[in-house]
């Protein structure tokens, strides 16, 4: 069964600094029907050949909301609310988190955020998150590649959100 045409999740890239990872993440969004946002400044121009190569022609099939700053992103997030709803939940993937992603209940409208590959996110961004999730890794290991981490978590989020709608093939 095809994925929905109206994305129920958004992947936000906070100041990405490796073009190949950003291109891979956006390609994944296009393939899975997930909306995308980039919070600038990025560590590379979006015309970068490595970024375009990793994203291939999929980048042309995806709308990417670009925000010139963290503040602009937060303003956008606030504007997405209605009179009846709170702003969309910001779910941060972080090696500093304590809650495993498999113990979290995702909801339609969630914004899953990944930080810079080199530095994560600053404390104010960490504090602004509605939830902070961890992918447990083996002792002595620091972290997964950001694209792998996002794919794991978004796969779980899609599974949770789609199951009640019969999209899981049942």
Specify if 2 maps to a domain.
no
Specify if 52 maps to a domain.
yes
With b for 16 or more beta-carbon neighbours within 10 A and e for fewer, the 95-106 pattern comes to eebeeebeebeb
Predicted local distance difference test score (pLDDT) of residue 75: 93
Predicted local distance difference test score (pLDDT) of residue 134: 96
Specify if 170 maps to a domain.
no
pTM score, whole prediction? 0.86
CA angle 127, 77, 15 (to 5 degrees): 65
Predicted local distance difference test score (pLDDT) of residue 8: 83
Predicted local distance difference test score (pLDDT) of residue 112: 98
Predicted local distance difference test score (pLDDT) of residue 49: 66
Q: Report, as ranges of residue numbers, the positions in the chain whose pLDDT lies below 50.
A: 1-5, 164-170
CATH number assigned to the domain comprising residue 97: 3.40.1280.10
Predicted local distance difference test score (pLDDT) of residue 164: 45
Specify if 28 maps to a domain.
yes
Specify if 121 maps to a domain.
yes
Tokens of 52: 């375009």
- What 3-state DSSP class applies to 78? helix
Dihedral sign for Cα 20, 24, 26, 30, please: positive
Domain count, the chain: 1
Specify if 151 maps to a domain.
yes
Contact 30, 62 (CB under 8 A): yes
Specify if 5 maps to a domain.
no
CA angle 86, 87, 91 (to 5 degrees): 115
CB atoms under 10 Å from CB of 83, counted, come to 4
Span 76-123, pLDDT tens digits: 988 876 555 677 899 999 999 999 999 999 999 999 999 999 899 999
């Amino acid at each position: 069964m095809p994925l929905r045409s109206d994305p129920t999740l958004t992947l936000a890239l906070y100041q990405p600094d490796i073009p190949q990872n950003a291109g891979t993440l956006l390609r994944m969004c296009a393939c899975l029907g997930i909306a995308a946002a980039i919070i600038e400044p990025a560590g590379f121009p979006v015309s970068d050949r490595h970024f375009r190569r990793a994203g291939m022609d999929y980048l042309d099939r995806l709308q990417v909301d670009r925000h010139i700053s963290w503040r602009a992103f937060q303003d956008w997030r606030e504007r997405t609310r209605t009179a009846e709803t709170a702003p969309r939940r910001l779910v941060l993937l972080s090696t500093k988190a304590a809650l495993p992603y498999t113990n979290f209940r995702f909801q339609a409208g969630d914004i899953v955020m990944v930080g810079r590959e080199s530095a994560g996110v600053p404390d104010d961004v960490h504090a602004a998150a509605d939830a902070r999730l961890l992918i447990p890794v083996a002792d002595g290991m620091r972290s997964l590649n950001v694209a792998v981490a996002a794919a794991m978590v978004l796969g779980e989020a899609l599974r949770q959100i789609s199951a009640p709608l019969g999209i899981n093939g049942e």
